[in-house]
């Protein structure tokens, strides 16, 4: 047996905060040593933090990184411990994103990243270049002060592996894991047994399995030990890095770290047997054949032994079952940990939320409640950092600290219901009940006097007073009256956030929380600069459908039972007067359902559909339910409002990134914000397609159907969405059979 104890970690780094980042790195090395590990892997760019963005262009950032590395090399941190440290390095005037391998106060090798992450939220090519040379390890001249301090003038730089006397180790940096031609294949064929992946990977709902599957598969086909390290927390932007560092061997996960946590440092270790790797590989005939013909990868020799031989007390770590959170849990824990980091680092004393008693703001309130619960749990478990942060934020004095989540919420969370004549008792009481359950400091205000003051001012100015539509007013008047209410709420929210601490003899300020969801943003169903404009928004990229599931989950699992009633109520803005024959409802106002919005959002962003291809895709998706002209109407309606309102995305409150169809304009979904909302070219194409299909007798109930068999007369026709089936005598088929991509037959029937 060749037993090797390895350690990886989740680190909560903060972009550009070199002191706290270095402290976390040292803490993780200490804990890895305490656990008897001889390899310690940290996340990508851990010295600087991953999200420094254009700070990477500053020379200071690289210089400070070298200073921190020098600090590590001058102490005993790397004694008998191979440390992989993530930092930027400039070589011949080109900046690379690197893993620096250090052992016994020397730099063994510097490995620049070869496949940069440059999609979606990632823009690494803006700051770094990819290392292209697969056949070269160069001699890198260390910066003079580092060289002098550690008495080492240069180090190997490039693609390669480290050959110890009893183990072979190499890096595969984050994105490289997910590429079509990953470095680990060539490295494994060259005999590399342990892969160290330093990563900076963000949370997205339902994404974790992609990462875990990639890691398992990496060692399932090639064999080997795969160590993965990730950041965890908000490092200064919209992303939450969701940890989940892990260790795998030959296709099995043997250690998995937490995905969501308030801890700054989490270290996990595993004892792995490298003989199990060579035995596994030796049993795969095709691997052996390919290994014989491999392209040679350069290497560095390190004359050290890092493994131990068989000892009864050294047990190899056994596989664990991978833990996946449900999406509802991801919504609870990801945004609440992100809020905690934001709170403790911004210097704020808490949050203020305009709480309408509707689904969205209630979901945000529940997330803050969850944050308070997590903090108390960690304090109970002895986390000193969380305790220190909680004492500062909650302004506890004389050695007191929080022990109860509701008491803590009362100090750090204001909720405020701002009712008008259009508000209902139902929403008012739901807001109050939820606030009581969470423990927030709740205010209930009437804002009608402010609104009528504004209207009187307007009347003095113009001689006119607008009326609601239900009272005979025009659309313009109706909209203006709604927007006054919505915007007054925003002004009041910021006023309360800045002054309430003063009222309660506290120092500091409160951050205003926004609560518009991803679908409202996409459709533009929000008033620009109303209460959806806040300091930060934890649910800005969560869909309404997911939020409702979260509310149902939270009613039970967070112990806020009123969330169930809130979820069951129909979504309404309550900006128009309620009459016996009229009450305002979101989905009626928008002309589309939240479920449809999720479909449009996914097709637009994830499947990159323009209007025409969205129409074509939806003709298939909704075939049997809607005629092509009905689909065309829906698609045009969506694109009209999406484009009219796109300008609102430029001022969207910074939101936690959770959803891959987020329309967030600043970092993720980069598109123009001034459109010709008539889309003349695209809509004409759609009309032409509808016309092409116009020969079919839609008016007589002709619909597209699908069947797995042909001729259709022998099959039962199932009406989409219904259990009912129709005998062949009740319909006739129309049109030609054609196989679609799901290998069903598409055909037309007339009843």
Ligand X SMILES: Nc1ncnc2c1ncn2[C@@H]1O[C@H](COP(=O)(O)OP(=O)(O)OP(=O)(O)O)[C@@H](O)[C@H]1O
Ligand Y SMILES: Nc1ncnc2c1ncn2[C@@H]1O[C@H](COP(=O)(O)OP(=O)(O)OC[C@H]2O[C@@H]([n+]3cccc(C(=O)O)c3)[C@H](O)[C@@H]2O)[C@@H](O)[C@H]1O
Binding site for ligand X (CB under 6 A): 354-356, 358-361, 417-419, 423, 489, 515-516, 520, 526, 531-532, 571, 573
Indicate the DSSP class of residue 448.
H
Closer to ligand GLN by Cβ: residue 330 or 586? 330
CA distances in angstroms from 138 to 34, 108, 377, listed in the order given:
35, 12, 50
List C-alpha distances in Å: 5 to 101, 230, 451.
17, 19, 67
By CB under 6 A, name the one of 43, 160, 182, 200 that touches ligand GLN. Answer: 200
CA 433/CA 229 separation, integer angstroms: 42
Closest to ligand GLN by CB, 239 vs 262, is 239
Q: How far is the CB of 73 from ligand GLN (least distance, A)?
A: 25
44 catalytic? Reply is yes
Among ligand X, ligand GLN, ligand Y, none, partner that 519 touches (CB below 5 to 8 angstroms by kind): none
Which of ligand Y, ligand GLN, ligand X, none binds 335 (CB below 5-8 Å, type-dependent)? none
Q: Active-site residue among 5, 33, 70, 113?
A: 113
**Using CA atoms, how far apart are residues 222 and 192, in angstroms rounded to an integer?**
10
> How many residues belong to the site for ligand Y (CB under 6 A)?
18
Are the C-beta atoms of residues 749 and 731 closer than 8 Å to each other? yes
Tell me which of ligand GLN, ligand Y, ligand X, none is bound by residue 483, counting a contact when its beta carbon lies within the kind-specific cut-off of 5 to 8 angstroms: ligand Y
Nearer to ligand Y, 308 or 483 (CB): 483
Q: How far is CA 70 from CA 13, 17, 55, 117, in A?
A: 19, 17, 21, 28
The reply on whether position 427 binds ligand Y by CB under 6 A is no
175 contact, one of ligand Y, ligand GLN, ligand X, none, CB 5-8 Å limit per kind? ligand GLN
Any contact of residue 528 with ligand Y (CB under 6 A)? yes
Minimum Å gap between C-beta 384 and ligand GLN is 30
Q: Which does 647 bind (CB under 5 to 8 A by kind): ligand Y, ligand X, ligand GLN, none?
A: ligand Y
We find the least distance from the C-beta atom of residue 548 to ligand X, in angstroms, to be 10
Q: Does 637 bind ligand Y (CB under 6 A)?
A: no
Cα separation, 493 vs 501, in Å, equals 13
Site string for ligand Y, 673-712 (x = CB under 6 A): -x--------------------------------------
Give me the helix-helix angle, 359-380 and 327-346, nearest 10°: 70
Question: Which secondary structure element, helix H or strand E, spans residue 335, and what is its range?
Answer: helix 327-346
Could you tell which of ligand GLN, ligand X, ligand Y, none binds residue 356, using a CB distance below 5 to 8 A set by kind?
ligand X
Q: Does 197 bind ligand Y (CB under 6 A)?
A: no
HEC profile for 607-661? CCCCHHHHHHHHHHHCCCCCCHHHHHHHHHHHHHHHHHHHHHHHHCCCECCCCCC
- Nearest-angstrom CA–CA distance, 517 and 362: 12
Output the six-digit token pair for 359. 């689904």
Q: Pick from 21, 24, 190, 201: which binds ligand GLN (CB under 6 A)?
A: 201
Closest approach, Cβ 454 to ligand Y, in A, equals 15
482 binds ligand Y (CB under 6 A): yes
Q: What is the largest CA-CA distance in the chain?
A: 93
Please tell me which residue in 229, 356, 361, 707 is annotated as part of the active site.
Answer: 356
Residue 237 or 571: the one with the smaller Cβ distance to ligand X is 571
> Which tokens belong to 399?
């050695």
In the bound state with ligand Y, the residue whose beta carbon lies nearer, of 152 and 584, is 584
Phi-psi region of 315 (alpha: psi -120 to 50; beta: other; left: phi over 0): beta
Q: Inter-axis angle of helices 544-557 and 327-346, to 10 degrees? A: 90
Sequence-distant (≥ 6) Cβ neighbours of residue 491 within 8 angstroms: none
d(C-alpha 673, C-alpha 647), whole Å: 5
Residue 174 annotated as catalytic: yes
DSSP 352-386: EEE--SSHHHHHHHHHHHHHHHHHHHHHHTT-HHH
Question: Out of 102, 174, 531, 702, which one is annotated catalytic?
Answer: 174
640 binds, among ligand X, ligand GLN, ligand Y, none (CB under 5 to 8 A by kind): none
575 is a site residue for ligand Y (CB under 6 A): yes
Contact pattern for ligand GLN over residues 95 through 134, marking x by CB under 6 A: ----------------------x----x------------
Residue 254 CB neighbours (<10 A): 21
Kindly tell me which of 70 and 544 has the beta carbon lying closer to ligand Y. Answer: 544
Q: Nearest approach, Cβ of 177 to ligand GLN (angstroms)?
A: 8
Residues near ligand Y (CB under 6 A) are: 479, 482-483, 486, 520, 524-528, 530, 573, 575, 586, 589, 645, 647, 674
**Residues labelled as active-site residues:** 44, 113, 174, 356
Residues near ligand GLN (CB under 6 A) are: 44, 117, 122, 174-175, 178, 199-201
């Amino acid at each position: 047996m060749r037993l090797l104890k390895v350690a990886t970690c989740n680190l909560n780094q903060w972009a550009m905060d070199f002191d706290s980042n270095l402290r976390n790195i040292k803490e993780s090395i200490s804990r890895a040593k305490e656990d008897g590990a001889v390899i310690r892997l940290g996340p990508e760019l851990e010295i600087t933090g991953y999200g420094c963005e254009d700070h990477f262009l500053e020379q200071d950032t690289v210089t400070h990184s070298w200073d921190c590395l020098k600090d590590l090399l001058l102490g005993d941190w790397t004694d008998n411990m191979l440390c992989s440290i993530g930092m930027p390095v400039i070589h011949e005037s080109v900046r690379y994103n690197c893993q620096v391998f250090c052992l016994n106060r020397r730099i063994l090798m510097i490995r620049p990243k070869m496949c940069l992450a440059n999609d979606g939220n990632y823009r690494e090519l803006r700051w770094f270049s990819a290392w292209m040379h697969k056949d070269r390890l160069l001699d890198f001249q260390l910066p003079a002060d580092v060289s002098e301090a550690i008495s080492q003038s240069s180090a190997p730089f490039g693609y390669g592996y480290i050959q110890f006397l009893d183990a072979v180790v190499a890096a595969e940096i984050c994105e490289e894991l997910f590429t079509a031609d990953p470095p680990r294949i060539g490295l494994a064929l060259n005999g590399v047994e342990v892969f160290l992946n330093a990563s900076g990977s963000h949370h997205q709902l339902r994404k974790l399995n992609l990462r875990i599957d990639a890691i398992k598969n990496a060692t399932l086909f090639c064999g080997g030990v795969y160590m993965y390290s990730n950041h965890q927390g908000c490092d200064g932007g919209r992303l939450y890095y969701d940890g989940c560092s892990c260790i795998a061997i030959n296709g099995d996960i043997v250690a998995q770290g937490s995905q969501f946590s308030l801890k700054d440092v989490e270290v996990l270790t595993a004892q792995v047997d490298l003989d199990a790797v060579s035995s596994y590989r030796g049993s795969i005939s095709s691997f052996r054949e390919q290994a014989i013909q491999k392209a040679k990868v350069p290497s560095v020799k390190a004359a050290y032994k890092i493994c131990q031989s068989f000892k009864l007390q050294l047990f190899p770590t056994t596989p664990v079952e991978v833990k996946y959170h449900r999406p509802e849990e991801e919504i609870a824990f990801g945004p609440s940990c992100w809020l905690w980091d934001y709170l403790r680092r911004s210097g704020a004393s808490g949050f203020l939320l305009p709480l309408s008693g509707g689904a969205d703001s209630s979901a945000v309130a529940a997330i803050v409640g969850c944050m308070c619960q997590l903090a108390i749990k960690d304090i109970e478990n002895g986390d000193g950092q969380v305790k220190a942060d909680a004492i500062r934020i909650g302004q506890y004095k004389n050695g007191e600290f929080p022990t109860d989540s509701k008491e803590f919420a009362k100090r750090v969370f204001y909720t405020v219901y701002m009712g008008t004549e259009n508000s209902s008792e139902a929403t008012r009481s739901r807001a109050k009940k939820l606030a009581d359950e969470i423990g927030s400091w709740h205010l209930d205000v009437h804002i009608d006097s402010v609104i009528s003051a504004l209207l009187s001012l307007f009347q003095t100015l113009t001689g006119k007073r607008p009326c609601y539509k239900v009272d005979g007013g025009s659309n313009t008047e109706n909209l203006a009256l709604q927007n006054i209410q919505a915007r007054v709420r925003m002004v009041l929210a910021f006023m309360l956030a800045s002054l309430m601490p003063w009222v309660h003899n506290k120092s500091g300020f409160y951050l205003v929380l926004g609560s518009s969801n991803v679908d409202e943003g996409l459709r533009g169903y929000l008033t620009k600069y109303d209460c959806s404009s806040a300091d930060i928004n934890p649910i800005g990229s969560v869909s309404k459908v997911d939020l409702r599931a979260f509310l149902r989950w939270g009613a039970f699992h967070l112990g806020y039972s009123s969330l169930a009633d809130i979820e069951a109520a129909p979504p309404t803005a309550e900006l128009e007067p309620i009459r016996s024959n009229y009450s305002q409802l979101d989905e009626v106002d928008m002309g589309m359902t939240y479920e449809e919005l999720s479909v449009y959002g996914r097709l637009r962003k994830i499947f990159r559909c323009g209007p025409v291809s969205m129409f074509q895709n939806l003709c298939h998706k909704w075939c049997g339910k809607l005629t092509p002209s009905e689909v065309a109407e829906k698609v045009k309606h969506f694109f009209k409002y999406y484009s009219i309102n796109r300008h609102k995305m430029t001022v969207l409150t910074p939101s936690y990134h959770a959803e891959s169809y987020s329309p967030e304009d600043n970092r993720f979904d980069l598109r123009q914000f001034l459109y010709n909302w008539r889309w003349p070219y695209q809509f004409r194409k759609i009309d032409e397609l509808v016309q092409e299909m116009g020969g079919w007798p839609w008016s007589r109930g002709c619909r597209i159907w699908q069947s797995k068999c042909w001729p259709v007369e022998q099959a039962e026709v199932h009406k989409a969405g219904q259990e009912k089936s129709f005998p062949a005598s009740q319909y006739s088929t129309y049109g030609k059979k054609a196989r679609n991509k799901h290998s069903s037959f598409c055909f037309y029937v007339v009843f």
